[in-house]
């Protein structure tokens, strides 16, 4: 139990530190958070259009649109601009709570992986390291890459490097920690 808890705690902190570096210090995800000098007028317009929080895809069809009408509209809209909007009426600036939630999730995530890795009868450093790297690839393919296939993400390569580097660093730690006698 000690191996699992210590492995998860340190591994979760390793991943959390990489996330902090990636998003805040190195700003690798800048492409998905670009500045526009028109932000005040855009926000004023959005505030006048949306009454509640929501995720909006544009253009999209109202519920109940027939398949034939959708296909006709898709042909008309082909190669034209589109947008996704995540709209929130209020900016939550409680960084402490969000940081805490992120760290706890990272620790839980690594605990799950430790549980699986500890089921290997004689885990070697290399086996654990490769398993962690493959976990990073799975994490990347499951969400950022799958979403990118449908809705192009400007920071897809940053997500890729986040998965490889964070899970690789975690793999170095867990490979050493879990393979110790």
Query: What is the reported pTM?
Result: 0.87
Residue-wise pLDDT for 120-163, tens only, equals: 999 999 999 999 999 999 999 999 999 999 999 999 999 999 99
Give pLDDT, residue 108.
Answer: 98
Tell me the average pLDDT across 20-46.
95
Q: Which domain holds residue 27?
A: 2-35+95-179
Please check whether residue 61 lies inside any domain of the structure.
no
Please check whether residue 62 lies inside any domain of the structure.
no
Please check whether residue 76 lies inside any domain of the structure.
no
Quickly list DSSP for 9-40.
HHHHHHHHHHHHIIIIIS-TTGGGS---TTHH
Residue-wise pLDDT for 53-90, tens only, equals: 999 999 999 999 999 999 999 999 999 999 999 999 99
Please check whether residue 148 lies inside any domain of the structure.
yes
């Amino acid at each position: 139990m000690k191996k699992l808890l210590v492995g998860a705690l340190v591994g979760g902190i390793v991943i959390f530190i990489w996330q902090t570096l990636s998003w805040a210090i190195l700003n690798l995800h800048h492409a998905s958070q670009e500045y526009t000098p028109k932000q005040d007028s855009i926000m004023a317009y959005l505030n006048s259009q949306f009454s509640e929080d929501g995720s909006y895809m544009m253009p999209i069809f109202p519920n109940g649109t027939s398949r034939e009408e959708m296909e006709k509209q898709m042909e008309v809209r082909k190669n034209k601009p589109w947008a996704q909007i995540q709209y929130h009426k209020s900016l939550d600036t409680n960084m402490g709570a969000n940081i805490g939630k992120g760290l706890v999730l990272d620790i839980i995530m690594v605990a799950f992986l430790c549980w699986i890795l500890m089921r290997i009868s004689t885990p070697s450093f290399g086996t654990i390291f490769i398993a962690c790297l493959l976990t990073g690839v799975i994490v990347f393919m499951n969400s950022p890459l799958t979403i990118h296939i449908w809705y192009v993400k400007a920071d897809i390569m940053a997500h890729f490097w986040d998965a490889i580097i964070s899970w690789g660093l975690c793999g170095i730690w867990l490979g050493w920690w879990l393979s110790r006698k």
